[in-house]
Structure 1
Amino acid sequence: MNIQKLFLNPKIILPLTFLMLVNITVGITAYIYADKNEQLSYTLAFKNLEAINNIKEHKLKLFFKHRLQDINTLAHNNDILEISKDGMKDTSYISIFLNEYEYSDLLLLDPKNSKITFSAKNHSLIGKEVTSQSFSNSNIAKLYKNVLETNKTNIADTEFSVFNKENPYLLFATPVREGKKLLNILVLVMPVNVIDEIIYFRAGMEKTAESYLVGSDHLLRSSSYLKKTFNLKNSFLEPQKYKIDTKAVKEALEGNSSHNIIKDYRNVDVLSVYKPFQLNTLQWALISELDESELIEHYTNIRYDIMLWSIFTSLAITIIGYLIIMKILKVSVLTPLQKSYKRAKGFEDIIKNSLNEIYIFNPKTLKFSYVNSSAIENCGYSCEEFLEMTPLDIKPKFDADLFAQIIKPLLKKELEQIFFETKHRRKDGTLYDVEIQLQLMHIGNSDKFVAFIQDITKRNKAIKEKEKFYNIATHDYLTKIYNRQMFDDLYKREFNSYRRYQTPMSLILFDIDNFKNINDTFGHDVGDKVLTELVKVVDKNVRETDIFARWGGEEFVILMRRTTLDVAYEKAQHICKTIAEHTIEGVGQITCSFGVAAPSDKEHPLSIFKDADLALYKAKENGKNRVEKSS
């Protein structure tokens, strides 16, 4: 049978016509789906920008929380108190602190006359009055007055420093007190470009995406990523030229959170997600945006791919139909349609190149239906392996019940999204820290869980380094308990509480009997071993609420909160007996003498130490290895 007869055969015309209609239907369906994919692309792009904005907001809040903790900790630091009282010059601790946490200066202001009494970096400032004409309307003058009036820690918004015209800065201020007496106003000066490190973080962002901060004066509080001339310095040098008056900025500064397609500060059409960022006196707008042209390019390419694919598929089906018509009639026309749908998943093209790991999984079975390239690269599993797995396979700290509790509020629509931190396990068994933003989204015809994963290993390492630095500054290097400086700080707080609320407190002072003989007989290494062994014994016999510290040499101190003198005396006797019964390898048994006291003078915080020291002396005089209490 030749081709002409094949076309004229009435038995062939009907199935061929049916095949052609199927091909046309495939093409039209693919085109319609690609058109709907445009809407999905916009929806997912806005969702991704919202997730980025939420992460930036979360990081900013943590940043300012740590900065406020910094200044409140410094306000109780012994060096600051000594400078405030005695005018002591800069210390190594303060210099290390400023360099470590990127502050440009530390100032102390006299609350009586507003004079700068101390500057860690610029001694030429000392003696200047911040309320004088030369500082008129400056933020440091306003902040100084605010802290005096409210007696609280506060923040001053960004401006060019009245001392340094090169960089805009933020100010943090808090009162420094000794008891009820106001000694000074402590001010930390921080270049605002430090915030760029948070805002510039690019994980999960497209090529033309950026985040930035704008103040209530419509000037930048972080530099632009896309247009380098829009930076902090230029914004404050030429405010009229670099002022940002977009719709997103205006809405956010009015307290509104939303998203829209607008013209940005470059006069470019962008997808914009915005929200207010408010903290103390700060009134900022947090903006995350993506050029609309990049999104259009994504879904236009997808549409062309789908149409070309449908055309080639139709031609292939028709040719095969001419050759083996009866077999073609048995082929399901749904197969190319299903493939077209699979190719039309535009959201994959938007998120596949994200630096963040992104997972999509079924709410019922929990099986992954999609993972992006970052997840595959970081975890070491192939795409095929992932599609047989669930989140529980890479989250060693979760079982099925615990994970069900985590996702329950999302399934019940009680929350739109949740954040939590955990560890992920790679294929090779190694673990890494992650922060997870989990949402339940409607994708296609069903609900899917979408998880945005950020690797926070470096961030957690930085936090641990900060904690290590803090631990070195507050703990004794040998025994690992509090050192005397930290004990002094904690004691002052407890004494103020005792003086205000009349809650009882007691002090136990003790040292090792004949410790010099141990060093002379066995050597200082063994002496150090005795000290550490003693601390372990005592630490097991004090409460979590007690403050245990090394006072100096072989002398130790225990501050017992909410404890009467008699109860503290009984505790000291128990510890004394426990020490005497303990045997130290290579040395044998040791003993300690104890002095116990309670405050005798509400106005003199050091009186308790004098009384405890006298009681300890009495214990030594009465034969050692005993406890005496103040009368």
Structure 2
Amino acid sequence: MLVSTVEMALKLHEALSLAQMYRRIVEDSLTEVYIFHPDTLKFLAVNRGANENLGYAEEELLDMNILQLMPEFDRESFRALLTPLQQGQKEKIIFDAKHRRKDGSLYPVETHLQLFGHGKGSICVAFILDLTERKKMEEKLREQGEFLRSLLAALPVGIFIIDPVSHRIEKVNLEAAAMIGAAPEEIEGRSCWEFFIQSAGSCPITASNEEVDRSERLLRRKDGLEILVLKTVKRVRTDSGEKLVETFIDISERKHLEEELYRLSITDPLTGAYNRRYFLEMLEREVERIRRTGNPFSLIMFDLDHFKSINDHFGHAAGDRVDSGGRAGIIESRAGV
């Protein structure tokens, strides 16, 4: 009997120790914990986290009910919320609400409600998570997202966000849509190869396993026309996995200007005939070619005698007309040969 009594005492002591430990965990938790009667909604116990966050003393809270903390609910709506717990349809109810502090300020919370049997009745326990910091972070992320979307739309370059596996376009900005001549929703979901047909079947960045690829490509518009663009593809790692960001700018006008500048640099502005610079450039190429091939090479040079006298007698305008017609005839003769 003595041994049995000692064993019972040890088990009771262990149970009491565990109970005290659990109680300390709940009481000292920074998460708000409220124990209240499901019928009267009056608080039976509150923890330190509730006292500190609300600004009430424990004695003040024990004279209150949960509706005084949740201004969004009245007694009828809150009882309706508890009904699935009381009827055993649910073990837990989770919802977002607003809590009101002693000073009247409101803060967002996530409420977890559970019902526990206690004696012949039951008690309701509310675990309250303060969402203030989370809401601030969500708002900050939302603002950053809005800023990035605005920036994406305003950038004067076309942008595709592409899945690297399927090569489907997930996002497209307005500049890219304007360059293609289609609405964004007509482009999203389609393969990037439909617009960059030179790369069809082989993505230059995934094939080379490089981080960045830059090249000149032809972009096919909705109407079938093709424009030359400078395209840059970069790997970007996101929370949802790796993405490819393609940016491209229309360089067709710049390319045309470069070609025009080059043409002007090698031709005579009056006649359009090739000038001395181009002659020397081509002469070097031909000399190099005959050194490699051993083929024969000939060079013919001629001049118009006394051309200066035309300028002296009839003026430079007349000389320009004669020069222009003479060189044009030479060009036509070459074309005929």
Shorter-chain TM band: 0.3 to 0.5
TM-score by length of 2: 0.47
TM-score by length of 1: 0.27
Q: Which structure has the bigger radius of gyration? A: 2
User: Which of 1 and 2 has higher RCO (CA within 8 Å, sep 6+)?
Assistant: 1
